[in-house]
């Protein structure tokens, strides 16, 4: 855990996984009014591997972060919207 904290503090983020596949990104938030850690998990959508489902969660010690979930396809469309 100390090594993860040190790397996060020096680089601002840590990425684990494959580009275009499953990936976890841990990132540091250091703004005037907001401080904390964000976790972003991306994976191909189960029924369409050209679309990526992404979930973002925030763990804040100052301010608030807005958790989010979205899905974007390679053609630019939002795969959570009908049509």
Domain locations in the chain as residue ranges: 2-73
Q: Name the nearest CA neighbour of 42 among 73, 21, 13.
A: 21
CA pair distance 62, 42, nearest whole angstrom: 26
- Asked if pLDDT for residue 24 goes beyond 90, the answer is yes
Residue 73 pairs in a beta bridge with 51
Count Cα neighbours of 42 within 13 Å in the Cβ-side half-sphere. 18
Confidence of residue 82 (pLDDT cuts 50, 70, 90): low
- Asked if pLDDT for residue 62 goes beyond 70, the answer is yes
pTM: 0.79
């Amino acid at each position: 855990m100390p090594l993860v904290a040190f790397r996060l503090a020096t680089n601002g983020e840590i990425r684990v996984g494959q580009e275009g596949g499953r990936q976890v990104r841990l990132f540091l938030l250091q703004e005037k009014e907001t401080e904390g850690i964000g976790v972003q998990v991306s994976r191909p959508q189960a029924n369409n591997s050209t679309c990526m489902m992404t979930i973002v969660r925030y763990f804040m010690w100052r301010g608030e972060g807005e958790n989010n979930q979205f899905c974007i396809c390679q053609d630019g469309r939002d795969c959570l919207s009908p049509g």
